[in-house]
Structure 1
Amino acid sequence: MTVDARVRWATFDCFGTLVDWRHGIATGAELLFPGRGAELLDVYNRHEPQVQREFPAMRYRDVLTEALRRTAGEAGLDLLEDDARVLAVSIPFWPVFPDTRLALADLRAAGWRIALLTNCDRDVIGETQRRLAVAVDAVVTAEDVGSYKPHHNHFHRFADSFGATRDNWVHVAQSYFHDIRPAHELGIPRVWINRLAEPDDPSIADAVLPDLTELVQAVEQVHRADRLNTEGVR
């Protein structure tokens, strides 16, 4: 497929990068078990990737529910069956980060198309997009590809569908495990939004930011540098 150099794509992980996933999980847990939200968030963080590995075709709302069941079980808490879906029900209302809407709007104004490569279902991301309040040009979900990142299927589907290559594509994400590492493995230019000041090796990212405040400058710089490097190799 021929790449149109005039089309530049910035792809994003949604939850954790644009939407405050941690707040959503902790708040849901706090509703059920007051005073335990932050503690249960840390436990949940271990269980969700395991559920996704075990059941790659499971709908994300069901992943949320199963991971919460396992979290409560590990913590020795009695989780009522009707309460187990609190995360699946509340996810459309999880808040975007304060810097999200302006960063996306500025990126579009700079001529970038925006896509979401997300570990959720089509209906979930459809409901979530209204909170972004900025137009999105394309979406690839776990439901579309039958697997969850860090599997490479999201990236392959996007590249195949839109002719994206490293010449016109920068991926932006908070999750080192789900996004930055696989983007590095595939040679996709990448910006790590290290909101949590995590200690992972920053050298596999092309740029590292603490939030989205300077996103446009970072994406433009990564794109220019990668094109220069690519042209220099030819």
Structure 2
Amino acid sequence: MNLTDFNTLTFDCYGTLIDWETGIFEGLRPLLERVKPPLTRDQVLEAHARHESSQQKYTPARRYRDLLPIVYKRLAEEWQVPFTLADCVAYGRSVQNWPAFDDSAAALQYLKKYYKLVILSNVDNESFAHSNAKLQVEFDAIFTAEDVGSYKPSPRNFDYMLEKLGERGIAKDKILHTAESLFHDHKPANGFGLASCWIYRRHGQEGFGATMNPGLQPKVDFRFDSMADLVKAHQDALLQK
């Protein structure tokens, strides 16, 4: 299997292209300043993953920017610190401030020359529009949790994406699903027989950060530590053709 075997890259966004762990941690800073004793970054991210995953299960049709305020409330209650509704709402809107990884925009602009680029993301459309501006590329299709009415790892999201891409003549065996999260992306991608590329942003760190533990390690066909490494591997593959 080679990177040049595919004509479409389907991307998770948050954690893969957008540095959501930094965005989450900075967005929660006003709350974290009131937590005693202080929590480590990974303690914060793991608690966030737990409450976010739970809330997505119970309210799958809620838009992400309206789901995050509930996560904020659950965290404040768990850590026993005061909060206001305004605090919760502000956190829900913080996605627009989450930064792109330094290599994302340039990598996407390069890959756009060779592939159709598609987003499959656990986000709402308004929040993604802000992130898309940071990524500086026009995607060929954007499928959000708001569009589908559920959140990955639900198979509904992958069913929806494959149906819509199939209507455009894009065969499943020409799709490479490219993502950081083993829980949200690679495990369900395995269930659909999709080839997958792991962008392992958390390499060198322990645990799963802002994503849940996937349990049994899913199969991945390619692994790179960054989008820049993916680009380099594609350039090398072209030279070998």
Which range, TM-score by smaller chain?
0.7 to 0.9
User: Where do residues 172-183 of structure 1 align in structure 2 (5 Å cutoff)?
Assistant: 172-183=178-189
Tell me how far apart the structure 1 counterparts of residues 233 and 87 of structure 2 sit (CA, whole Å). Answer: 42
Tell me how far apart the structure 2 counterparts of residues 40 and 78 of structure 1 sit (CA, whole Å). Answer: 17
Q: 2:49 is matched with which residue?
A: 45
Does structure 2 retain, via aligned residues, the 8 Å contact 1:118–1:141? yes
- Residue 21 of structure 1 aligns to which amino acid in structure 2? W
Does structure 2 retain, via aligned residues, the 8 Å contact 1:173–1:180? yes
The structure whose RCO (Cα within 8 Å, separation 6+) is larger is 2
Does structure 2 retain, via aligned residues, the 8 Å contact 1:121–1:142? yes
- Residue 214 of structure 1 aligns to which amino acid in structure 2? D
| Cα RMSD after superposing both structures | 2.4
User: Where do residues 8-27 of structure 1 align in structure 2 (5 Å cutoff)?
Assistant: 8-27=7-26
Gaps of 5+ in 1: 1-5, 223-234
Tell me how far apart the structure 2 counterparts of residues 152 and 217 of structure 1 sit (CA, whole Å). Answer: 32
Runs of 4+ with >2 A deviation: 31-42, 164-167, 197-203, 216-222
Which deviates more from structure 2 when the two are superposed, residues 33-42 or residues 47-56?
Answer: 33-42
Give 1:81's match in structure 2, choosing from 74, 81, 85: 85
- Residue 88 of structure 1 aligns to which amino acid in structure 2? G
Tell me how far apart the structure 2 counterparts of residues 219 and 172 of structure 1 sit (CA, whole Å). Answer: 13
User: Where do residues 1-234 of structure 1 align in structure 2 (5 Å cutoff)?
Assistant: 8-34=7-33, 38=41, 39-109=43-113, 111-163=114-166, 164-197=170-203, 204-216=219-231
- Residue 17 of structure 1 aligns to which amino acid in structure 2? T
**CA 1:154/1:172 → structure 2, altered by over 3 Å: closer, same or farther?**
same
Shift of 1:132: 0.6
Equivalences, count: 216
Structure 1, residues 88-121: CA drift from partner, whole Å, max 9, x if none?
2221121000110111111112x20101001011
> Normalising to structure 1: TM-score of the pair?
0.84
Identical pairs, percent: 34
Q: 1:228 is matched with which residue?
A: none
- Residue 165 of structure 2 aligns to which amino acid in structure 1? F
- Residue 159 of structure 1 aligns to which amino acid in structure 2? L
- Residue 19 of structure 2 aligns to which amino acid in structure 1? D
Q: Secondary structure at the match of 1:214?
A: helix
Q: 2:211 is matched with which residue?
A: none
> Normalising to structure 2: TM-score of the pair?
0.82
Gaps of 5+ in 2: 208-213
- Residue 75 of structure 1 aligns to which amino acid in structure 2? W
Q: Secondary structure at the match of 1:213?
A: helix
Q: Secondary structure at the match of 2:22?
A: helix
**CA 1:219/1:167 → structure 2, altered by over 3 Å: closer, same or farther?**
farther
Which deviates more from structure 2 when the two are superposed, residues 178-187 or residues 100-109?
Answer: 100-109
Tell me how far apart the structure 2 counterparts of residues 219 and 140 of structure 1 sit (CA, whole Å). Answer: 25
Q: Secondary structure at the match of 1:136?
A: coil
Shift of 1:218: 5.0
Shift of 1:18: 0.4
Q: Secondary structure at the match of 1:114?
A: strand
